């Protein structure tokens, strides 16, 4: 087997994307949307990135069965074996377990990268170099490895990893992890210089990934292995549909960064942003007149500053005397709200709307 063929990628594409509501909806979440009017969705951009770096047959996608038809439409080159459709939402840790199990049964020496589908990378050349180093590290060490980037602003919507002991150049043990801190703590972390943003990209060799994650969750696929000595992914699909609900709702971030002691972080510098919230999208995109961001939207601005605007094609947004707002419309919902620290507010609003108005607005 050629050395490069040991590297695998798993793209996580099963989330509901509610932090970008109302443009991201339960029936058509953000990863399947062409947000920027460039002809490719966030999922397709992510797939394209890794298809340039890895053999296409080594790229897997995990989604929810509600979105399976969308994934097949957007990525028709995916084979049945490389598309894993979960019957219920259970967080990213069970997703990584299932994908790692499938890849392990194909290649016992696999090195696996698990990545979100809603991120942007500015310096692709630097990312490729970091990824190569990361694959080499997990091939030689039984550690889970996350790729961290130095904060450029006190962003409360991200996770912060504190660097511990350096175990090799550029790679540290994880000392602590704080998810979405208050802005004043985010500012303190940034000023201390020993905290890095969590990109949500995790790597491990296949055996280490399974050993680490199996300690955090009930036995599901281990039972499958005991009952099926001859591996068959079709039988695995049937088994998972019946037994996947046994897993807890657990993210890789909390499960690994907070509960495991064999996890490291690699210091990276490739220009990264999570496109999962309106605020982070505003920070990541180029600013126009008045520091406003119009996301594939026709807009006229009058004494307006620091807003992010996303309207459907054919709409004209006229924004006057408004500073620091989200103006977003999709289908039957128009949302106008303060931009700063909006993620928690939107989650609360979406829950309230679902209770008061029903699922048609979610």
As a whole-number percent, the residues of the chain with pLDDT over 70 amount to 98
Residue-averaged pLDDT of the chain: 94
As a whole-number percent, the residues of the chain with pLDDT over 90 amount to 85
CB neighbours (10 Å) of residue 161?
Answer: 27
In this predicted structure, the answer to whether residue 325 has a pLDDT above a threshold of 90 is yes
Beta strands in the chain (DSSP E): 7-12, 59-64, 83-86, 111-116, 119-121, 144-149, 159-168, 171-179, 195-205, 263-268, 272-274, 293-294, 298-302, 308-310, 316-320, 325-330, 333-338
Candidates 20, 29, 23; CA nearest to 333 is 23
pLDDT band at 2 (very low <50, low <70, confident <90, very high): very low
∠ CA(90), CA(112), CA(133), 5° rounding? 135
CATH architecture label of 3-276: Alpha-Beta Complex (3.90)
Measure the CA–CA gap between 362 and 350, rounded to whole angstroms. Answer: 7
In this predicted structure, the answer to whether residue 320 has a pLDDT above a threshold of 60 is yes
Contact 214, 245 (CB under 8 A): no
pLDDT in tens, 222-269: 999 999 999 999 999 999 999 999 999 999 998 999 888 899 999 999
Tell me the whole-structure pTM to 2 decimals.
0.94
> Residue 329's beta-bridge partner residues?
334
All CATH 3.90.550.10 domain ranges in the chain, comma separated: 3-276
pLDDT in tens, 196-229: 999 999 999 999 999 999 999 999 999 999 999 9
Candidates 115, 139, 141; CA nearest to 127 is 115
Q: State residue 161's pLDDT score.
A: 97
In this predicted structure, the answer to whether residue 321 has a pLDDT above a threshold of 90 is yes
Q: State residue 278's pLDDT score.
A: 92
Alpha-carbon torsion angle 38, 112, 161, 170, nearest 10:
-100
Measure the CA–CA gap between 149 and 155, rounded to whole angstroms. Answer: 13
Q: State residue 238's pLDDT score.
A: 97
Measure the CA–CA gap between 5 and 59, rounded to whole angstroms. Answer: 11
Place of tokens 């004209």: 316
Contact 280, 151 (CB under 8 A): no
Candidates 194, 219, 201, 209; CA nearest to 102 is 209
Q: State residue 341's pLDDT score.
A: 64
What does R_g of the chain's alpha carbons equal in angstroms? 21
Candidates 102, 145, 108; CA nearest to 5 is 108
The pairing of beta strand 159-168 with beta strand 171-179: antiparallel
Q: State residue 1's pLDDT score.
A: 35
pLDDT in tens, 157-204: 889 999 999 999 999 999 999 998 988 999 999 999 999 999 999 999
> Residue 84's beta-bridge partner residues?
62
Measure the CA–CA gap between 345 and 22, rounded to whole angstroms. Answer: 13
**Residues 135-147: what's their mean pLDDT?**
97
């Amino acid at each position: 087997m050629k050395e490069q063929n040991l590297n695998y990628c798993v793209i996580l594409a099963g989330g509901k994307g509610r932090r970008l509501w109302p443009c991201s909806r339960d029936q058509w979440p953000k990863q399947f949307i062409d947000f920027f009017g460039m002809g490719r969705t966030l999922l397709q951009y992510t797939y394209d990135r890794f298809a340039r770096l890895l053999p296409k047959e080594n790229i897997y996608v995990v989604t929810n069965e509600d979105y399976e038809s969308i994934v097949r439409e957007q990525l028709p080159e995916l084979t049945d074996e490389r598309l894993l459709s979960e019957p219920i939402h259970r967080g990213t840790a069970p997703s990584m377990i299932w994908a790692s199990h499938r890849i392990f049964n194909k290649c016992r020496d696999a090195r696996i990268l698990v990545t979100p589908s809603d991120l942007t990378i500015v310096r692709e050349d630097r990312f490729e170099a970091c990824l190569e180093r990361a694959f080499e590290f997990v091939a030689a060490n039984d550690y889970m490895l996350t790729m961290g980037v130095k904060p450029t602003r006190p962003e409360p919507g991200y996770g912060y990893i504190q660097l511990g002991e350096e175990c090799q150049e550029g790679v540290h043990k994880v000392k602590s992890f704080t998810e979405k801190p208050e802005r004043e703590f985010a500012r303190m972390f940034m000023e201390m210089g020993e905290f890095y943003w969590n990109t949500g990209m995790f790597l491990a060799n296949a055996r280490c990934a399974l050993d680490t994650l199996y300690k955090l969750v009930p036995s599901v696929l281990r039972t499958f292995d005991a009952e099926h000595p001859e591996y068959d992914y079709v039988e695995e699909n049937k088994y998972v549909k019946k037994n996947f609900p046994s897993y807890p709702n657990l993210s890789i971030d909390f499960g690994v960064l907070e509960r495991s002691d064999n996890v490291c972080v690699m210091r990276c510098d490739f220009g990264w942003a999570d496109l999962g919230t309106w605020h982070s999208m505003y920070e990541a995109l180029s600013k126009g007149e008045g520091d406003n961001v119009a996301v594939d939207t026709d807009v006229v601005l009058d004494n307006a500053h620091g807003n992010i605007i996303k309207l459907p094609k054919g709409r004209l947004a006229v924004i006057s005397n408004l500073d620091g707002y989200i103006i977003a419309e999709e289908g039957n919902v128009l949302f106008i709200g303060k931009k700063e620290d909006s993620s928690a507010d939107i989650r609360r609003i979406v829950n309230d709307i679902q209770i008061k108005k029903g699922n048609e607005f979610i």
